[in-house]
Amino acid sequence: MEYNFTDVEKRWQQYWKDHHIYHVDEIENRPKFYVLDMFPYPSGAGLHVGHPLGYIASDIYARYKRQKGFNVLHPMGYDAFGLPAEQYAIQTGQHPAITTKQNITRYREQLDKIGFSFDWDREFKTSDPDYYKWTQWVFIQLFNHYYCTKCQKAKPIAELQQHLATQGTNELHAAQSKPLSFTADEWNAKTETEQQNILLNYRLAYLADSWVNWCPKLGTVLANDEVVNGVSERGGFPVERKLMKQWILRVSAYADRLLKGLETVEWSESIKEIQRNWIGRSEGAFIRFQIDDKPATLDVFTTRPDTIFGVSFMVMCPEHALIEQITTAEQKAEVDSYVFWARNRTETERQTEVKKVSGVFTGAYAINPFNGEKIPIWVAEYVLSGYGTGGIMAVPAHDSRDYAFAKHFNLPIREVIAGGDITKEAFETKEGTCINSDFINDLPVKEGAKKVIEKVISLGIGYGTVNYRLRDAIFSRQRYWGEPFPVYYKNGVPYVLPEEELPLLLPEVDKYLPTETGEPPLARAENWKTKEGYPLESSTMPGFAGSSGYYLRYMDPHNPNELVSKKKNEYWQNVDLYVGGAEHATGHLIYSRFWNKFLFDINIVCKDEPYKKLINQGMIQGRTNFVYRIINTNRFVSFGLKDDYEVTPIRVDVNIVHNDILDIEAFKHWRPEFLDADFILEDGKYVCGWEVEKMSKSKYNVQNPDDLIERYGADTLRMYEMFLGPVELSKPWDTNGIEGVFRFIKKFWRLYHDKENNFAVCDDEPTAEEYRILHKTIKKIEEDNERFSFNTAVSAFMISVNELTDLKCNKRKILEPMSILISAYAPHLAEELWHLLGNTDSVVTADFPAFVADYLVETSTKYPVSFNGKTRLQRVFPADMSVKDIENEILKDSEVIKWLDGKSPRKIIIVPKKIINIVI
RNA sequence: GCGGAUGUGGCGUAAUUGGUAGCCGCGCUAGACUUAGGAUCUAGUGCCGAGAGGCGUAGGAGUUCGAGUCUCCUCAUCCGCACCA
């Protein structure tokens, strides 16, 4: 009997649990380190081999850091609110809490089998009332704060009220939905309800009518990042635009800080770039255009104020409030029908027909403030309501979209930047010289823009500004399975509940569907109102509510009085290493940063950024196997011969295929229709084809970690997942290679055992060579761990085990440190060996072995000798030999003389301890 | 279209600072052992060539004594964004 991983793994998992080995407390004099995995949504399908990839990497790092003397916080929990459990509840009538609980139990079992070092004492799920109490609490704080644009931080709404009561909107520096203007007297004269409505214009969590992504199939509104290519991210259902009253978070107020903060975090360049694009900062100007013959103005945002003399028409988005006011009687019918058509188009339609030009003339004109020219105002879909002001000044000569529009409707195109050929296409460069532009003629573009902005300011019709693409986040969902808003309505105006009344519990409902009148499911709950009888909000919060600040709660998970205590927050600070998928780049990772910055502003947390270092693990794709059935038969032809027949490829369960060879007997019993199938073989085997696809049940390519653990053990699975390649890289799962790692684990075990599998480690003094191997390994593992290069570390373990096996080394002074080194990777194996070595404590708490450089000092160096850069031979010289001496020696070498072939070297390059290159 | 990343044996990959390209593992070949197996061990395995040797890191050019690594161009693949004014 060799290494019995089943017994060993079970035994130590129990031991770790019984002895609370992974429990962590704050320890004042010990440096902290916080390692966090993006917490999982517990889906019904359980874990497949792709999920633990990141968890294994972070677990290795957490264990390593602990052995290096850090107090490591490494928690786990569940993002438990969400659509799948609710969809399932709608179908079956079963409460989503029950499904969620079952799924979590399954997840936990699977996670436990892999041997993670999570501190489960800190576990929570977002659907626990003790947890969502704090999600609701943060919402109340957001509601009670506004963003001061002058001091660039959140401030209490009471201060804003004070300001309005004494100065009105004068000198007000607040992020707002729309600019308002009134005096203190006007404010004070307003009713309570009127004032509350106005305050919504400034609150960081506010209620507003806005054009939202409405998904009828899911019966809810979605945030921008939840809509992908015009369909819902979950389920892939169509999304429409709809004007609805919704809770919204004023994320846009933090756009600039979210952008700047990226410079302070250690994230991959690609993910920072995705966030930068999503935030989409652009510099330009707001300019107000007077409408001809009307007491109205049209505001535009432009990044190219330098092209103001090239404006030949204006465009408003179909949602623009001004349309009704300025459209002329003659144009009204046409405009109405266009606007109706455009507003009711789905996101998908819009996006697939981007190249199609459409629009309609309003009949109204604006006046160019710089030359008094009358310019026609159009309505067109290509101008978006959510960006800038919803209106643009069109400069067809220097913007390709305006150009296409002008060509289509035969509008004038006027060149104002020299250098292009506007008869062919728009000339969009930002380097160039202004022409046909009055007082900015001959100026470079940048100078021209500056001058125009100065003029705009002096005319009092605008200002230079920065605009962001980042939009406020819709925060309401018309669903059941989420956090209830701690909000009630009085006179139609929202108020938040007092903090003492939290948590506001999710009520029971008879059905998880909207009411007959189209209200969200919570409206079905009996008595869904406050003690005083005011109706409560019936929407719930979105999935990202609970995941935005969860990292904080792990610091102080059971605190009933605070989200996190000041003391514990100051100890744990923020996440040192965050591991998770790159798909959260524009969702969770933005919201979470926003949420944290707000909590920083109100002095709840001590760090401005939540996640210092981020690693995005790659996706593990499935490797699907195919068999080939000859058309109209039950005959299957092997991969290499299939081209001689007309065949249908059929996906086959990867679990009955080994190294692409089909287990024919298993195949016959896989499905009844294959029972009497026959086969055309090559070399007596049926060879399957393969393809890389997403891992999914329907493709029969799912590899379940439990099966692999049963066959090879958790340590093998852990090391194999790391061995596949760099953590960040996406790669197809291929079980074939796992045998190699399995052999390695057994070989490692055999170092400590004799042929009869008796533990046999001796106390002899190791040789210099054995010490060299050990310290080379210590150095390598330490370096690789530090740079998250776990694949190369596994390979380094294999090399040293091969070398120690060759030396038949079974010496304690080598093998004991080796067991510590490998414990982060193969904790069960390491713990067993550690105890066999006579230790009574856990290897988890052992110190990482100290590297001693002396053991690696070489007395001689083997030099590759190359001629014109091509390596020809090798020569050994003492390590301390001078360059001059080496040169003399090498030229006497008979082999070198042979390669010189009678010529004399032009130059000899000798890099000490590296290389000798002879140039002929 | 814009932005980012990647490209190395049959396969997954390695080469940390410009210094012997292919470590480690899979697969494959041959052999040993064996109550035949999806176990273990030994040797070999980038390509061409009998060999000497030649070629070789997507392709092309360049810098350098020396390039997988640096620069420029081209191609391919993946990811993100996409009427963002």
pLDDT per position as a tens digit, A4-55: 899 999 999 999 999 999 999 999 999 999 999 999 999 888 888 888 999 9
Calculate the angstrom distance between C1' of B53 and CA of A854. Answer: 42
Please check whether residues A690 and A721 belong to one and the same domain: no
Say if A217 falls within a structural domain.
Answer: yes
Calculate the angstrom distance between C1' of B13 and CA of A794. Answer: 12
* pLDDT of A375 higher than 70: yes
Calculate the angstrom distance between C1' of B65 and CA of A799. Answer: 34
pLDDT in tens, A585-594: 888 999 999 9
Please check whether residues A192 and A215 belong to one and the same domain: yes
Please check whether residues A254 and A143 belong to one and the same domain: yes
Calculate the angstrom distance between C1' of B85 and CA of A212. Answer: 21
Calculate the angstrom distance between C1' of B1 and CA of A256. Answer: 27
Of residues A667 and A69, the one with the higher pLDDT is A69
Measuring from the CA of residue A659 to each C1' atom, give the nucleotide at the shortest distance. B27
Between CA A112 and CA A59 the distance in angstroms is 12
Report whether A638 contacts A686 (CB < 8 A): yes
Measuring from the CA of residue A300 to each C1' atom, give the nucleotide at the shortest distance. B85
Please check whether residues A164 and A270 belong to one and the same domain: yes
Please check whether residues A641 and A775 belong to one and the same domain: no
pLDDT average, residue stretch A748-771 = 90
Calculate the angstrom distance between C1' of B6 and CA of A618. Answer: 13
Calculate the angstrom distance between C1' of B64 and CA of A616. Answer: 37
Please check whether residues A437 and A348 belong to one and the same domain: yes
Measuring from the CA of residue A275 to each C1' atom, give the nucleotide at the shortest distance. B80
CATH code, A329: 3.90.740.10
Report whether A279 contacts A453 (CB < 8 A): no
Report whether A797 contacts A720 (CB < 8 A): no
Measuring from the CA of residue A711 to each C1' atom, give the nucleotide at the shortest distance. B38
The pLDDT value given to residue A184: 96
The pLDDT value given to residue A301: 93
Please check whether residues A809 and A712 belong to one and the same domain: yes
Q: Which two tokens stand for residue A321?
A: 């409030």
Please check whether residues A245 and A286 belong to one and the same domain: no
pLDDT average, residue stretch A551-574 = 97
Measuring from the CA of residue A907 to each C1' atom, give the nucleotide at the shortest distance. B65
Confidence of residue A797 (pLDDT cuts 50, 70, 90): very high
Q: How many CB atoms lie within 10 A of CB A337?
A: 11
pLDDT in tens, A509-551: 998 988 888 889 999 998 999 999 999 999 999 989 999 999 9
Contacts of A784 (CB under 8 A, 6+ apart): A790, A792, A793, A796
Using alpha carbons only, give the angle A326, A327, A330 rounded to the nearest 5 degrees.
Answer: 145
CA nearest to nucleotide B2 C1': residue: A277
Calculate the angstrom distance between C1' of B71 and CA of A397. Answer: 36
**Percent of chain A scoring above 70 in pLDDT:** 99
Of the residues A798, A828, A847, the one at which a domain ends: A847
Q: How many CB atoms lie within 10 A of CB A584?
A: 19
Calculate the angstrom distance between C1' of B65 and CA of A780. Answer: 31
Measuring from the CA of residue A399 to each C1' atom, give the nucleotide at the shortest distance. B85
| Segment of A350-364, A450-464, A725-739 carrying the highest mean pLDDT | A450-464
Measuring from the CA of residue A730 to each C1' atom, give the nucleotide at the shortest distance. B78
Say if A107 falls within a structural domain.
Answer: no
Say if A767 falls within a structural domain.
Answer: yes
CA nearest to nucleotide B40 C1': residue: A743
Q: How many CB atoms lie within 10 A of CB A150?
A: 10
Report whether A556 contacts A564 (CB < 8 A): yes
Please check whether residues A695 and A721 belong to one and the same domain: no
Say if A54 falls within a structural domain.
Answer: no
CA nearest to nucleotide B64 C1': residue: A869
List, as one string, the DSSP characters of A535-557. Answer: BBP--B--HHHHHSSHHHHTTST
CA nearest to nucleotide B26 C1': residue: A737
Calculate the angstrom distance between C1' of B55 and CA of A863. Answer: 24
Say if A508 falls within a structural domain.
Answer: yes
Calculate the angstrom distance between C1' of B58 and CA of A89. Answer: 52
Calculate the angstrom distance between C1' of B64 and CA of A915. Answer: 15
CA nearest to nucleotide B12 C1': residue: A724
Measuring from the CA of residue A301 to each C1' atom, give the nucleotide at the shortest distance. B85
Say if A325 falls within a structural domain.
Answer: yes
Confidence of residue A231 (pLDDT cuts 50, 70, 90): confident
Write out the residue range of the structural domain in which residue A910 sits. 858-919
Mark the nucleotides of strand B covered by protein, meaning any atom under 7 Å from a CB: 3-5, 11-16, 19-21, 23-28, 38-41, 65-67, 78-85
Please check whether residues A757 and A791 belong to one and the same domain: yes
Calculate the angstrom distance between C1' of B85 and CA of A448. Answer: 18
CATH code, A764: 1.10.730.10
Say if A576 falls within a structural domain.
Answer: no
Measuring from the CA of residue A274 to each C1' atom, give the nucleotide at the shortest distance. B80
Measuring from the CA of residue A278 to each C1' atom, give the nucleotide at the shortest distance. B81
pLDDT in tens, A870-894: 788 888 888 888 888 888 888 888 7
Measuring from the CA of residue A866 to each C1' atom, give the nucleotide at the shortest distance. B20
**Percent of chain A scoring above 90 in pLDDT:** 57
Domain count, chain A: 5
Q: How many CB atoms lie within 10 A of CB A817?
A: 19
Measuring from the CA of residue A382 to each C1' atom, give the nucleotide at the shortest distance. B83
Say if A112 falls within a structural domain.
Answer: no
CATH code, A908: 3.10.20.590
List, as one string, the DSSP characters of A304-328. Answer: -GGGGGG--EEEE-TT-THHHHH--
Least confident of A144-158, A631-645, A710-724: A631-645
Calculate the angstrom distance between C1' of B83 and CA of A105. Answer: 47
DSSP code of residue A394: E
Of the residues A677, A702, A727, the one at which a domain ends: A702
pLDDT in tens, A616-675: 888 888 877 888 888 889 898 887 777 788 888 888 888 787 767 788 888 888 888 888
Of the residues A485, A500, A524, the one at which a domain ends: A524
Query: What mean pLDDT is reported for chain A?
Result: 90
The pLDDT value given to residue A631: 87
Please check whether residues A909 and A870 belong to one and the same domain: yes
Coil/strand/helix, residue A207: strand
Coil/strand/helix, residue A388: coil
Confidence of residue A420 (pLDDT cuts 50, 70, 90): confident
C-alpha dist (Å) from residue A382 to A302, A363, A401, A565: 15, 19, 8, 50
Calculate the angstrom distance between C1' of B5 and CA of A281. Answer: 23
The pLDDT value given to residue A1: 52
The pLDDT value given to residue A915: 85
The pLDDT value given to residue A795: 93
Calculate the angstrom distance between C1' of B75 and CA of A686. Answer: 37
Please check whether residues A332 and A444 belong to one and the same domain: yes
pLDDT average, residue stretch A702-708 = 86
CA nearest to nucleotide B53 C1': residue: A872
Calculate the angstrom distance between C1' of B35 and CA of A2. Answer: 19
pLDDT average, residue stretch A79-108 = 91
* pLDDT of A475 higher than 90: yes
Q: How many CB atoms lie within 10 A of CB A530?
A: 18
The pLDDT value given to residue A902: 75
Measuring from the CA of residue A909 to each C1' atom, give the nucleotide at the shortest distance. B65
What phi and psi values does residue A171 have, to the nearest 5 degrees? 60, 30
Of residues A842 and A908, the one with the higher pLDDT is A842
Measuring from the CA of residue A471 to each C1' atom, give the nucleotide at the shortest distance. B84
Q: Taking each helix axis from N to C terminus, what angle separates A738-751 and A790-806, rounded to the nearest 10 degrees? A: 50
Between CA A576 and CA A905 the distance in angstroms is 55
Calculate the angstrom distance between C1' of B19 and CA of A640. Answer: 45
CA nearest to nucleotide B79 C1': residue: A270
Q: Is the ipTM of this complex over 0.85?
A: yes
From the number of C-beta atoms within 10 Å of its C-beta (0-12, 13-18, 19+), residue A112 rates as middle
Q: Is A444 left (phi over 0), alpha (psi -120 to 50) or beta?
A: beta
pLDDT in tens, A564-614: 999 999 999 999 999 998 888 888 999 999 999 999 999 999 999 999 999
